[in-house]
Structure 1
């Protein structure tokens, strides 16, 4: 069990992200059309639709959304993926302390709330995940300050900054026209951060196992 937890389970966030992208892409083919930018448009638009648009019961164009069921399943997979990610995130550090525990607890709690993004409480969920997610990252940043891998630190800061920008745009509606494409770019940067974290944890676990032998 311990071998599975240290050598195989850290692959789950990477696998989960790939599965999410595949399922979401497939689901988007059934999206009738319509976005905040262009309500009368046909089909799902990479440049004009938000990711959550695919989970709306009724599209922005007023049509029944046939993509909702599969897109919601994809979202659940993404939520579980990110819960697992925050469980492993503090393990990039060589220490275990209050900061690493708070990062894991608040991060996993944030992604549990994130599940509700597919419900009618979408807007409240965005607000709560923004607040709790920031709380989770504060102790993480305290530990990250002493981390030696500058490139990894750079991608973390960049991913967090992009997330804050997306959050502020959604809440204030300033620049909302550009949010769909910015959201997907942010998702791509986040995916790099997730994959990089998993690789670092796997290497750390392997080195620990080698030393033990």
Structure 2
């Protein structure tokens, strides 16, 4: 088997597992990180620990907490965030593979989706707010060809989940930019993350099943 065929075989067989593994690793590392968080949020600056309901995911990456304390959780939180960024970059690479036909639109989905997730990685820097905006713009561009292709997709439940994910991302972005309802933003952000994770896992399972069928078909042809 040539090197290119080996690479294609690896991508086909194993790459869809990466986002699932990455999400699991992210949750583990992030949970460990926030266990060291000194506390403090926009809602409750004097809190003494990380709060699921009142701290944003990115709060754990701040050098100084909202309560004015040195953030001992930052290093591990940044590590977890980089893991998440790489995970989602891989996800957008395989996302178009749920469609039976690969074309210019599917290439645009991957390109802009992976670009958005690459920018997302740099949210741990002092340019966090700018990275949020750029990620939102690139991500929205990726969703334009994705929604066009999704319109013809056969699984209505999957489509409903995607629409819900995108609607929640708009809500989160709107609150972040306007501060309208900001008190509830940390909780809404966590719910959005859970539903996004559901979408990622479901997508990976679809691609894995399609790849298994493809590999079996190729084996049968060889015989």
Same fold (TM over 0.5): yes
- Whether 2:210 is the aligned partner of 1:210: answer no
Of the candidates 21, 28, 33, which is equivalent to residue 34 of structure 2?
28
Task: Report 1:1-213 matches (<5 A).
Answer: 1=6, 2-212=8-218, 213=220
Bigger radius of gyration: 2
Paired residues, number = 213
In structure 1, how many angstroms separate the alpha carbons of the residues matched to 2:13 and 2:92? Answer: 17
In structure 2, how many angstroms separate the alpha carbons of the residues matched to 1:3 and 1:31? Answer: 42
In structure 2, how many angstroms separate the alpha carbons of the residues matched to 1:71 and 1:96? Answer: 37
Structure 2, gaps ≥5 residues long: 1-5
Q: What SS is found at the alignment partner of 2:69?
A: coil
Deviation at 1:34, TM superposition (A): 0.3
In structure 1, how many angstroms separate the alpha carbons of the residues matched to 2:33 and 2:149? Answer: 39
Structure 1, gaps ≥5 residues long: none
Write the deviation string for residues 1-26 of structure 1: whole angstroms up to 9, x where unpaired.
Answer: 33221111110000000000000000
Q: What SS is found at the alignment partner of 2:88?
A: helix
In structure 1, how many angstroms separate the alpha carbons of the residues matched to 2:41 and 2:9? Answer: 47
In structure 1, how many angstroms separate the alpha carbons of the residues matched to 2:10 and 2:137? Answer: 33
Per the normalisation by structure 1, the TM-score is 0.99
